[in-house]
Amino acid sequence: MSPDAEYIPTQVHGSGRPACLRCQNEAIQAVNGLIRAGTWSSATYGTALAADNGGGVSVGIAEFQSSGASNLAQVLSPPARPAGNYLPAMIALLGAVAGIPWALLVVNSTVLAQSMAGLGVVAFVVLLIRQRRAHQRAVTDWVAKAARWASLFYCSRCNSVSDLRTCEWLPAEQTKAFWK
In a domain, 162, yes or no: yes
Residue 21 located in a structural domain: no
Q: Is the model's pLDDT at 8 over the cut of 60?
A: no
- DSSP string for the chain: --S-TT----SB-TTSSB--TTT--S-EEEHHHHHHHTEEEEEEEEEEEEE-TTS-EEEEEEEEEEEEE-HHHHHTPPPPPPP---HHHHHHHHIIIIIHHHHHHHH---HHHHHHHHHHHHHHHHHHHHHHHHHHHHHHHHHHHHHHHHTEEEETTTTEEEETTTTEEEEGGGGGGGG-
Domain that holds residue 112: 28-37+62-179
pLDDT confidence tier of residue 162, bands split at 50, 70 and 90 = very high
**111 inside domain:** yes
Nearest to 79 by CA among 144, 165, 164, 136: 144
Q: What is the pTM of this model?
A: 0.61
Under the banding of pLDDT at 50, 70 and 90, the label for residue 35 is confident
Q: Is residue 8 part of a domain?
A: no
Does residue 51 belong to any structural domain of this protein?
no
Is the per-residue pLDDT at 150 higher than 60? Answer: yes
Report the range of poorest mean pLDDT among 10-14, 59-63, 75-79, 102-106.
10-14
100 pLDDT more than 90: no
Residue 55 lies in a domain: no
Judge whether 124 lies within some domain.
Answer: yes
| pLDDT of the residue at 9 | 42
Q: How far is CA 158 from the centre of its chain?
A: 27
Alpha carbons within 13 angstroms on the beta-carbon side of residue 7 total 15
Residue 10 has pLDDT above 60, yes or no: no
Residue 109 pLDDT: 67
Q: Which residue has the higher pLDDT, 59 or 169?
A: 169
Whether residue 38 has pLDDT greater than 50 = yes
Of 45-54, 66-75, 93-102, 133-142, which one has max mean pLDDT? 133-142
- Number of domains into which the chain is organized: 1
Tell whether 71 is covered by a domain.
yes
